[in-house]
């Protein structure tokens, strides 16, 4: 099954909801960065949330998520856009611990709990929208829930989960976000609260192979969900050799000549997708002429 995301309304438009299957997207991130199990879970959760938050945007809008929790993982950085394209990396991909008291990967210990979650949105205006909140758990789902309630003033619930095989490959990944629209009836809120008490953890639903539509039905009950749109999501990086060449040109001829004299070549590395681009002496000499 390919990864995809659904946008929906529930309870006759009182609830806005998103759900996503992100297994292949997270698998691609794991393969590119060779993340260990706990690092994969943390990065995968952030990327899964990023995919759904990107789906809230329009056109060419995009956003960047940054998690700095003070844990051994270091910074988690995720980019996403309205087209379902997501990329991300973690500063230290080789982090893994024994399972926590609940028998799950100890994402909280890896991320840390003493830092911040920040979101920067580029929606085509002169100034970017930036929201930042302190981490409340380090598990990320609760932290994104707190972000929406505090920074965007939208009562929300975020569930993200990643299951990792013993060989570090990704077994399953996915999640949901739902938000209360203005004027949501108290009766509706009570119904949702009762369902949340009995619903299985998102990772268990993913393990069972539930589709995004079925995840929303678990949340709200059959007959209460109206699917509005279905869209693919994937790991996608916009880096290229041409982009890096332009960046090198911007350094100026003097600095490029130093590269030629000292190393006889140059290597550019994209942190988001781990691709490396090599520039030979001849290519650098051509870039010198362009810089002039």
Low-confidence residues of the chain: pLDDT under 50:
none
Quick one: pLDDT at residue 258?
Answer: 87
Helix axes 141-151, 37-54, angle to 10 degrees: 30
Quick one: pLDDT at residue 147?
Answer: 97
Domain boundaries, the chain: 4-235, 241-291
pTM (predicted TM-score): 0.92
Q: Are 212 and 6 in contact (CB under 8 A)?
A: yes
Residue from 235, 233, 284 nearest 255 by CA: 284
Long-range contacts of 206-210 (CB under 8 A, 24+ apart): 206/21, 206/23, 206/161, 206/163, 206/172, 206/173, 206/174, 207/163, 207/171, 207/172, 209/172
Residue 53's Cβ-side half-sphere holds a number of Cα atoms within 13 Å equal to 31
Homologous superfamily (CATH) of 241-291 is HSP33 redox switch-like (3.90.1280.10)
Tokens of 169: 């490959």
Q: Are 35 and 29 in contact (CB under 8 A)?
A: yes
- CATH of span 4-235: 3.55.30.10
Residue 51: strand, helix, or coil = helix
Q: Are 24 and 30 in contact (CB under 8 A)?
A: no
User: Distance between CA atoms of 164 and 142, rounded to whole angstroms?
Assistant: 20
């Amino acid at each position: 099954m390919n990864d995809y995301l659904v946008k929906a309304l529930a309870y006759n438009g009182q609830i806005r909801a998103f759900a996503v299957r992100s297994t292949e997207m997270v698998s691609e991130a794991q393969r590119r960065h060779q993340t260990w199990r706990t690092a994969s879970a943390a990065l995968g959760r952030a990327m899964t949330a990023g995919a759904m938050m990107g789906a809230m945007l329009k056109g060419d809008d995009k956003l960047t998520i940054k998690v700095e929790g003070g844990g051994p993982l270091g910074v988690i950085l995720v980019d996403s856009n309205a087209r379902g394209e997501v990329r991300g990396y973690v500063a230290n991909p080789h982090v893994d611990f024994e399972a926590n008291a609940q028998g799950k990967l100890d994402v909280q210990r890896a991320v840390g709990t003493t830092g911040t979650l920040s979101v920067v949105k580029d929606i085509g205006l002169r100034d970017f929208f930036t929201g930042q909140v302190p981490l409340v758990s380090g598990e990320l789902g609760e932290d994104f829930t707190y972000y929406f309630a505090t920074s965007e003033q939208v009562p929300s619930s975020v569930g993200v989960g990643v299951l990792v095989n013993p060989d570090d490959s990704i077994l399953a990944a996915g999640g949901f976000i739902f938000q209360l629209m203005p004027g949501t009836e108290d009766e509706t809120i009570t119904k949702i609260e009762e369902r949340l008490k009995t619903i299985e953890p998102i990772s268990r639903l993913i393990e069972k192979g539930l589709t995004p539509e079925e995840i929303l039905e678990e949340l709200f009950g059959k007959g209460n969900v109206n699917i509005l749109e279905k869209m693919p999501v994937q790991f996608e990086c916009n880096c290229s050799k041409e982009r890096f060449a332009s960046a090198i040109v911007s350094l100026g001829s003097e600095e490029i000549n130093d590269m030629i004299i000292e190393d006889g070549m140059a290597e550019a590395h994209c942190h988001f997708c781990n691709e490396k681009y090599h520039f030979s002496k001849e290519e650098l000499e051509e870039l010198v002429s362009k810089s002039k």
